[in-house]
Chains A and B, each alone.
Chain A
Amino acid sequence: MIFVEQALQTLVAGLSVGCIYGLLCVGLALIFGIMRVINFAQGDLMMVGMYVAIFVASFVLPPAVFGVATPFIAALLVVPVMFIFGYLLSWVLISRTAGLKAASLTEGDAHQAQLILSLGLALILQNGAHILLGSSPAAMISPLSSSAWEVPLLIDDFSAIFFNKARTVNAVICVVISVVLFWFIQKTRIGKSLRAAASNSEAAIYMGINVSKAHNIAFALGTAIAGIAGGLLVIYYPVQPHVGVDFVIIMYAGVVLGGMGSIVGAFWGGMTIGLVQQLSTLFVPIQLQNTAIFVVFLFVLLIKPEGFFGRTVERA
């Protein structure tokens, strides 16, 4: 009975972590899927979002008005800030190495330039944050992080599992944002234009689609998603300038697992990683958590190299 209770409790933890990882992977997959840009700075954009959320919660929102909702509203307000930041980054920097402006370079050259640019951006964000904010971790204090809903298990009189309130609200927000984003990409005209620009940029231009702008919007959306995921994460995970490094590896693993470029796949890839990371602690020492992730990762790719949702639509 103890094991069942413990396993269910770990499953709950895995699901809540998985939702955040899923959202992080969705942001990365969006940028890769539409711009074909490999963005090494995605973890650091998340880190910026974490700091922005703390800043907004501490200096912009009066806690007396918003009460326990303050951290979540702060996380939502990260979206416009990071959207604008991402749009400017793409417009001023990334567009020079990706898409149309890079069309004059050979494909290989443009690719290398783009990789080095995003690595450079990662270093600037990390060290910039280090200089501005110092290296000591910062956290967002929320009373909800230390309270839980208790759900009795009904197998006996005393077994129960606990849903941490902050984590549960976070998970729900992550799922809602992922669904809204998926709907946006699949169903709206702007979303479809983004996919058209990704599918064939030359033909998209012949349709009258502004492909450079489509790329900027995609990068801005990806940045905003990294930002809000960071804003939600910081409610229970402290931020320091180099926090993105660990997460970017998880994000890439999730995106590859889900199938490069698939947004739905990316969510399930991130979810899988969250679940494996938490559930592995039931069987192996906690230090082997991340080893477990990559064992599962390699195993899945051995069986299904294109990832869960990798698909080919070209005629055979």
Chain B
Amino acid sequence: MLRIDQLNVTYGGLQALDGISIDVKAGEFVAVVGPNGAGKTTLFKSISGTVIPWRGTMLFDGVDLATLAAYERPHLGIAHVPEGRKVFSGMTVFENLEMGASTEEGRRRWNDTLDLLFTMFPRLKDRRDQYAGTLSGGEQQMLAIGRGLASAPKLLMLDEPSMGLSPSMTDVIFDAVAKIHKEQGLTILLVEQRVAEALENCDHAYVLETGRVVLQGSLEELSSDDRVRRAYLGL
């Protein structure tokens, strides 16, 4: 579904991504883990087009993403739930979700999606007319994910959804993501610093360090790797 080959990104002179290749197949749950500053957000922004790579190719369902402007990419079925949530703070919860449904597919499936979202996150239903800026961090994350799902995407990309959340709220969010993957069969690309939680549900994972993929494999392969066990899982 998404094939990234030899992606290079620089900021000024600084190399943020150095020849990254990543493959996400339809229906998979893929995790990209790595420490702060590894280039995880940069990878997501390149896919979404808010950062322009200087080398490498990105194909989504066979379409070369470089040929599309950033705002056209969501219409292909890519939903990006950005780092730090970035909800529309002066708009209500409901309006935020409506903005998610800016894609044609999102509008077509709007009623079904809304039912699904409000069942999954009843807190959003209770607060549907509240300004998004007044929600708690966890509620904002639910809204950000809901807004992504409202576009009825083929691929849901989540950038550190656990950032700044309490452990119990983090569990709620991760459980919701796992449930969406299982029940809807939605393809998921998750970026995380919390390695243990991220690896728990994934089919395949990449370990990113200073702009390079240093390790990749299935959940079993990674969790039996000594480096991962020591550096990330604290075992």
Contact = CB atoms under 8 A, between A and B. Distances in A.
Interface of A: 189, 192-193, 195-196, 199-200, 202-211, 313-315
Interface residues of B, number: 35
30 contacts: A192-B98, A193-B99, A195-B90, A195-B91, A199-B89, A200-B88, A202-B82, A203-B86, A205-B50, A205-B70, A206-B80, A206-B82, A206-B86, A207-B100, A207-B147, A208-B71, A208-B72, A208-B73, A208-B151, A209-B71, A210-B69, A210-B71, A211-B71, A313-B89, A313-B90, A313-B132, A313-B133, A313-B134, A314-B89, A315-B136
Contacts of B91: 192, 195-196, 199
Contacts of B87: 200, 203
Nearest to B132: A313
Contacts of A314: 89, 133-134
A202 B89 contact: no
Nearest to B106: A208
Contact of A208 (B90, B102, B135): B102
B80 A208 contact: no
A313 B136 CA distance: 12
Given A192-B91, A206-B80, A208-B71, A200 B133 contact: no
Nearest to A186: B95
B8 interface: no
Given A207-B74, A207-B151, A315 B135 contact: yes
Contacts of A204: 88, 99
B181 interface: no
Contact of B50 (A192, A202, A208, A313): A202
A209 B100 CA distance: 10
A313 B99 contact: no
Interface string B71-83: 1111100011110
B187 interface: no
A138 to B, nearest CB: 42
Given A189-B98, A314-B133, A206 B89 contact: no
A216 to B, nearest CB: 13
- Tell me if B's interface is mostly helix, strand, loop or mixed: mixed
A203 B74 CA distance: 11
Contact of A209 (B82, B90, B102): B102
A204 B90 CA distance: 13
Nearest to A187: B95
A205 B133 contact: no
Contacts of A206: 48, 74, 79-82, 86, 148
Contact of B74 (A192, A200, A208): A208
B134 A207 contact: no
Contacts of A192: 91, 95, 98-99
A108 B87 CA distance: 24
Interface centre among A193, A195, A313, by most chain B C-beta atoms within 10 angstroms, is: A313
A153 B102 CA distance: 55
Given A202-B82, A208-B75, A208-B103, A196 B50 contact: no
Contacts of B148: 206
Contacts of B88: 195-196, 199-200, 203-204
A160 to B, nearest CB: 47
A314 B134 CA distance: 6
A195 B99 CA distance: 10
Contact of A313 (B103, B131, B147): B131
A85 B48 CA distance: 32
Nearest to A198: B90
Contacts of A189: 98, 102
Top 9 nearest A-B pairs (CB, nearest first) are A208-B74, A313-B133, A203-B86, A199-B88, A206-B80, A313-B131, A210-B71, A196-B99, A208-B102
B101 to A, nearest CB: 9
Interface in B46-96: 48-50, 69-75, 79-82, 86-91, 95
B110 to A, nearest CB: 12
A315 B90 CA distance: 11
Contacts of B99: 192-193, 196, 204, 207, 209
Interface in B131-175: 131-136, 147-148, 151
Contacts of B134: 313-315
A210 B103 CA distance: 12
A154 B99 CA distance: 55
B82 A203 contact: yes
A203 B82 CA distance: 7
A202 B91 CA distance: 15
B146 to A, nearest CB: 12
B102 A207 contact: yes
Interface centre among A203, A208, A211, A314, by most chain B C-beta atoms within 10 angstroms, is: A208
